[in-house]
Structure 1
């Protein structure tokens, strides 16, 4: 009886954890075709898992509510860091890096894997 109850509680906790996961968490296919992993809780870190710059951390974001995020994003080609924004729509993640207070921005759309 105790074993069945323990298994039921464990299964419930695992399912609840998946339901509470932030939509930005997980693996994303970048515009260049590399895989980026986004993980964290409250503050999210972006690390490239495949491609030319595998293992490199390229960003840090915090939720601003309703599927939107703000933080910093680094171009792995030149190691320049920009003010970043991200927004989720379905299985798409629009990433933007900006300079001059948002006057000049570059955007990419990533796809959830």
Structure 2
């Protein structure tokens, strides 16, 4: 399964039940570092981490950007039941991303 591209209004409409673990990569199509981060997350996703990984264009997500105070991109937001629990701005390595997502 690939990283799921999602729009802000779609995310806001999702219902979170139970112990849902998700991650959203906020990026822009014009950001080279964001493309590297996405590729790293594709490798992590292929290793079957227990997290659903989404990506969202920061330019079209003003509500979430402001509510979650996202200051730069790429930004990986780890969520539990739809609520942010961790923000990662530095995608250090595939191994690092794998470790923080399997917890």
Q: What is the TM-score of this pair, normalised by structure 2?
A: 0.30
Structure 1 or 2: more strand by fraction: 1
Structure 1 or 2: more helix by fraction: 2
Q: Which protein has the larger Cα radius of gyration, Structure 1 or Structure 2? A: 1
